[in-house]
Amino acid sequence: MFTSKDIQAKERILMPIIIALSIVIPLVVAILMYMPRNVADSEPARLSYLPLFHAVLNGSTAIFLVGGLYFIKIKKIPFHRVCMLVAFALSSIFLVSYVIYHYSVPPAPYGGQGMIRNVYFFVLITHIILAASIVPLTLITLYRAFSADYAKHKKIARYTFPVWLYVAITGVVVYLMMQPYYPV
């Protein structure tokens, strides 16, 4: 078990790293997404499976998050830990794959009309904003768990869980709404 002094010493080292990653990751994603590239040379059809893959990753993340919540409620901590680590791994794979896809394929415009268009953009915008907040939330939550600071872990997990679940579920919803408009 870590002492309070051990946790504070590790925190002085790890929190700046978590903060840096929380800034750098969204910046790198934004730069890569908006960096000029010659999309005429890209082959969108070659990567056309990735939006579905992303939806599967997001849906699977949501399932593991709910599983993690279930297991912590019944005090099966090893199962909770596995579910949350799998959810984190799936989200990490999603992030890398998402950046590769959006760097390689020109953006597909949403073609829906009327009220559904407003719903789509509301879901998309809230998804994007909350997805950026997931980076620091998950890293801090994981750090608290691995440092055995369970009181602080539980406190931040109360915020991390619903935001992360919303991002995972709305990732699937965005895919389903965009699916007819992706290049084939």
- If phi over 0 gives left and psi between -120 and 50 gives alpha, with beta otherwise, what is residue 36? beta
Alpha-carbon distance 183 to 136, whole Å? 33
Other Cβ atoms within 10 Å of 39 Cβ, number: 12
What pTM does this model have? 0.85
Check whether 43 has a pLDDT greater than 70.
no
105 pLDDT band, cuts 50/70/90, is confident
Q: Among residues 35, 53, 150, 171, which one has the least CA distance to residue 104?
A: 35
Which pLDDT score is estimated for 7? 63
Mean pLDDT comparison of 32-36, 104-108, 161-165, highest-scoring range? 161-165
Stretch (H or E) spanning 32: helix 4-34
Domain positions in the chain? 48-181
